[in-house]
Amino acid sequence: MIKIAKKHGLATLAAAGLTLAAMAPAHAGKTLDAIKARGQVICGVNVGLAGFSAADSNGAWTGLDVDVCKAVAASVLGDATKVKWVPLNAQQRFTALQSGEVDVLSRNTTFSLTRDASLGLHMTAVTYYDGQGFMVPVKSKIKSAKALKNATVCVQSGTTTEKNLTDFSKANNLGMKPVVFEKQEAVNAAYFSGRCQAYTTDASGLASVRNKEAKVPADHLILPELISKEPLGPMVRRGDDEWFAIVKWVIYGLIEAEEYGVTQANVDAMTKESKDPVVMRLTGSGEDTGKLLGLDKEWLVRAVKAVGNYGEIFERNVGPKTPLALPRGQNNQWNKGGQMYAMPVR
């Protein structure tokens, strides 16, 4: 009986210890320490994909992926402008993150098992649900991807796009002929010069390229079929769970802020006035969730004030009123017919 009691007591103490450890404030982590020391978040972005990450003639970066990094900088440094932008092509992106050249890769990158399990990187949270599509000249009169039998198709190497194209062609016995280029600029030039009969990449990327590169965007049609799942989002290096948690929860926080009506314009008022327990957690006026991330209680308020909630980010960069004119679709909130579903900030 005595031995059993001791075992029971030890088990109880161990459980209590685990509970207390789980509730303890987080340590900052080596990546956050380095960021604070240098005063900048180093963010890897696309070399130029309008709506997601692109620099204007003055060197100012904008886009959905850019806003994610700005939100992270606002959360951890208190200033969304404290970001160093590192443009990366498809071949460079993973090496740059693995080597520590960048702190976070926010560059229209698809999450997949191979990338998650073999690159020494962590996938954080989905910021855009996409799918691979095809673009063709309207004058070709092609209306379906399955009509591209024996067609030449421009595609970029070092991406999931190339393999998806091969899989789709084989599965449908289409005999497509990939015309592969290392750089996106070369893919764009080849397609618009007529070297390929079609262009394939993520549908959002096709909309961006059509708007930016085509002399007459209306002369090019994005075909209706999507041939793959392309969940896009930021990645971080393995080995720093604290930094992984921060990037992931900033994204979830922006998504949940939209769900509960916390916007760039009203976040201060909501912080002072809302009695909704969820809003109080989001704004830090109730529970202090920041201490669990190694941040202060206003970590998410700063992010929302800097870039808005997820819906505002989407509408400003890629939504129906922008040149890309992308519908909200599956990137709508889960309770509005979409797939955007934040893990609860609590």
- The pLDDT score that the predictor gives to residue 12 is 46
- The pLDDT score that the predictor gives to residue 14 is 46
Burial class, 213, CB count within 10 angstroms (exposed 0-12 / middle 13-18 / buried 19+) = middle
Q: What is the fold, at CATH topology level, of the domain defined by 132-228?
A: D-Maltodextrin-Binding Protein; domain 2 (3.40.190)
The CATH code that applies to domain 30-129+232-252+306-330 is 3.40.190.10
CA distance 183 to 204: 18
Please report, to the nearest 10 degrees, the dihedral formed by the alpha carbons of residues 31, 82, 93, 295 taken in order.
30
> How does pLDDT run across 153-207, given as a tens digit for each residue?
999 998 889 999 999 999 999 999 999 999 889 999 999 999 999 999 999 999 9
Q: Mean of the pLDDT values across residues 221-227?
A: 95
CA distance 337 to 127: 16
- pLDDT of 88 > 60? The answer is yes
Cβ partners under 8 Å of residue 32, min gap 6: 76, 242, 243, 246, 294
- pLDDT of 22 > 80? The answer is no
- The pLDDT score that the predictor gives to residue 229 is 95
CA distance 242 to 191: 43
H-helix or E-strand containing 7? Answer: helix 2-23
- The pLDDT score that the predictor gives to residue 16 is 45
Q: Quickly state the pLDDT bin for 29 (edges 50, 70, 90).
A: confident
- pLDDT of 133 > 90? The answer is yes
> How does pLDDT run across 301-325, given as a tens digit for each residue?
999 999 999 999 999 999 999 999 9
- pLDDT of 213 > 90? The answer is yes
Structure token digits, residue 255: 């998504």
| Listed residue (140, 189, 199) closest to 165, CA to CA | 199
CA distance 254 to 251: 5
Averaged pLDDT of the chain? 92
The percentage of the chain sitting over the pLDDT mark of 90, rounded to a whole number, equals 89
Structure token digits, residue 82: 């404290």
| CATH code 3.40.190.10 region(s) in the chain | 30-129+232-252+306-330, 132-228
Q: Are 62 and 212 in contact (CB under 8 A)?
A: no
CA distance 209 to 185: 10
